[in-house]
Amino acid sequence: MNVLSIFKLTVFLTLLFIAYTESSAQSVWDSCTKFVHDESGSGRVATLERPARDLGNIISNLEPGDVVCIAGGTYTGRGDRGVDSIEIPVSVIGGFSPDFTKRDPWGQYQTVFTGIHNSNNFETQTRLTIDTSNFATRLQEARGEPTEHTIIVDGIIFDNGPRNYYSDSTESLIVRQGTPSRTPTPESGALTIRTGVNSTVIVRNNIAINFAPTEGVFSFFGGKSAEFTIRNNVAANNTGSGFRLGTSFTGSEIPHYKFENNISVFNQKHTPFGSFGGSGIMLESSTKVEILNSIFSYNDNFGIDNSKRSNNLVLYNNIIAANANADYMEFDIKMGFDDIEDEAELIYDAMDNVDHTISFNIDAQWGTYYSSRNVIDRNAAETEVRVINSWYNDVRAMFGWNTLAEDLNVDSPIWLPRLSLDDAYNIAGLYNGKFGVHKPEAETF
């Protein structure tokens, strides 16, 4: 791509960002350059009149700056691979009606990204990856070439349930070891965005459930001078961490994350006896992070995992409560909620955070499965393997059930029980008027 083309792209992306952040319905629709609909789509033209059937079918045709608008439906990737990987800056916006005249991403027109376990072309990587690290490099910047670029992911429902390998029809225990005839549960997340230099990224109105990664479900690695806005997303019932805010750059112009009005709950450890995973959010060094009006609760390990030491962290108006190991982890120091504001050395400012517990309106059967898991404290294993009973009973109390006093067996016959989309929407709400997410308003163009 020559310098003139890059300059034109930069102007277009700047206008796209301005239009999109203004949030007018018409400007969102006007930004669409490619169209996808699972039922009426065919071919790879991807116009309004002739939409494509799946995002995966047109990835090789995408151009930098494309805005792919996707109608409600179920999308399993090209050839049912269950994986989409893009290496240029594009935007992916879901929740449109079949004729693209309306949008209601958490209501009538849900755009669900999933897969089909054990399909002929089944793959186990992250469901959607956008990587611009080779598109906008520091060498290009040093040469004076335009490198600014924008990525938007909005209104996608990521459900890994159909991609997982469960032990039986109850779908209450994932299987991580494959067989000659059965592919294991994917150990990957829902969305990964890795950027080159000078990126602007908006991730909002997305939901991710039933993923089984070792680390992030929503994973972000900002390059030099990256500006991320992570707003109004839900991560529920996953292993690993609901969100991972990382970096692909070290220096003076580290990536900046504004993380607001998100929910990260019921995140489980990688395995019952494991020591990693199970946190609401994981932070990394060489990042600047503001966390506002979000909820981190009922996680197996930590509400906020800052063991990799993101400095000058800002925490305002968050619920951090009922996390099994600790509400906040800083390097190797575990802290309960009451100690965070006084003892955390890497927090620049913390104000108006609370430890309120929330009662979610979740299906009782799923709640029975979840609270019947054996969450093992590995740190005590050499002396006495034990279940974290007090937290276990906190979860039971949330559902209004009697608490239990006895220890459980070391093995856990239940792990990552499948959560329904209906329950995910029941979790996705605004609590006490300011914590959590807003349901996106329906729009007409």
46 found inside a domain: yes
Does pLDDT of 166 surpass 50? yes
The Cα–Cα gap between 55 and 34 comes to 9
pLDDT given for residue 404 in this prediction: 53
- Kindly report, residue by residue over 281-340, the tens digit of the pLDDT: 999 999 999 999 999 999 999 999 999 999 999 999 999 999 999 999 999 999 999 999
Q: What is the CATH number of the domain that holds 251?
A: 2.160.20
- Cβ atoms of 50 and 42 within 8 Å: the answer is yes
Lowest-pLDDT range, 134-143, 271-280, 361-370, 402-411? 402-411
Q: Look up the pTM and report it.
A: 0.90
Does pLDDT of 383 surpass 80? no
pLDDT given for residue 30 in this prediction: 87
201 found inside a domain: yes
Average pLDDT over every residue of 427-443: 96
Average pLDDT over every residue of 404-432: 83
Q: Supply angle C-alpha 97, 122, 62, rounded to 5.
A: 50
Banded model confidence at residue 162, pLDDT cuts 50, 70, 90: very high
Query: Which H, E and C letters describe the chain, residue by residue?
Result: CCHHHHHHHHHHHHHHHHHHHHCCHHHHHHCCCEEECCCCCCCCCCCCCCCECCHHHHHHHCCCCCEEEEECEEECCHHHCCCEEECCCCEEEEEECCCCCEECCCCCCCEEECCCCCCCCCCCCCCEEEECCCCCCHHHHHCCCCCCEEEEEECEEEECHHHCCECCCCCCEECCCCCCCCCCCCCCCCEEEECCCCEEEEEECCEEECCCCCCEEEEEEECCCCEEEEECCEEEEEECEEEEEEECCCCCCCCEEEEECCEEEEEEECCCCCCCECEEEEEECCCEEEEECCEEECCCCEEEEEEECCCCEEEECCEEECCCCEEEEECCEEECHHHHHHHCCCEEEEECCECCCCCCCCCHHHHHHHHCCCCECHHHCCCCCCECHHHHHHHHHHCCCCCCCCCCCCCCCCECCCCCHHHHHHHCCEECCCEECCCCCCEEC
Banded model confidence at residue 22, pLDDT cuts 50, 70, 90: low
Does pLDDT of 382 surpass 70? no
- Cβ atoms of 241 and 268 within 8 Å: the answer is no
Dmax of the chain from CA atoms? 70
408 found inside a domain: no
- Cβ atoms of 73 and 67 within 8 Å: the answer is no
**Domain count of the fold of the chain:** 1
347 found inside a domain: yes
Q: Which two tokens stand for residue 436?
A: 């959590």
389 found inside a domain: no
Does pLDDT of 434 surpass 60? yes
Q: Which two tokens stand for residue 159?
A: 């459900």
pLDDT given for residue 406 in this prediction: 47
- Kindly report, residue by residue over 384-410, the tens digit of the pLDDT: 445 555 566 666 666 665 555 444 445
Instruction: Kindly report the backbone phi and psi dihedral angles of residue 101, in degrees, each rounded to the nearest multiple of 5, phi listed first.
Output: -100, -10
28 found inside a domain: yes
Does pLDDT of 122 surpass 70? yes
Does pLDDT of 165 surpass 70? yes
- Characterize the bridge pairing of strands 91-96 and 149-154: parallel
pLDDT given for residue 139 in this prediction: 96
Average pLDDT over every residue of 89-118: 97
- Characterize the bridge pairing of strands 67-71 and 102-103: unpaired
Q: Which two tokens stand for residue 277?
A: 């995973």
pLDDT given for residue 21 in this prediction: 57
pLDDT given for residue 20 in this prediction: 60
Lowest-pLDDT range, 112-116, 231-235, 241-245, 357-361? 357-361
- Characterize the bridge pairing of strands 333-335 and 326-330: antiparallel
The Cα–Cα gap between 225 and 416 comes to 37
167 found inside a domain: yes
410 found inside a domain: no
Does pLDDT of 13 surpass 60? no
The Cα–Cα gap between 413 and 175 comes to 11
Lowest-pLDDT range, 6-20, 22-36, 154-168? 6-20
- Cβ atoms of 200 and 149 within 8 Å: the answer is yes
Neighbours of 18 (CB within 10 A): 11
Does pLDDT of 10 surpass 60? no
- Kindly report, residue by residue over 176-209, the tens digit of the pLDDT: 998 988 999 999 999 999 999 999 999 999 999 9
Neighbouring-strand partners of residue 222: 247
| Segments forming the whole domain that contains residue 353 | 3-357+422-444
- Cβ atoms of 257 and 315 within 8 Å: the answer is no
Average pLDDT over every residue of 338-346: 92
pLDDT given for residue 271 in this prediction: 87
The Cα–Cα gap between 288 and 281 comes to 14
pLDDT given for residue 407 in this prediction: 47
Banded model confidence at residue 4, pLDDT cuts 50, 70, 90: very low
Share of the chain above pLDDT 90, in %: 80
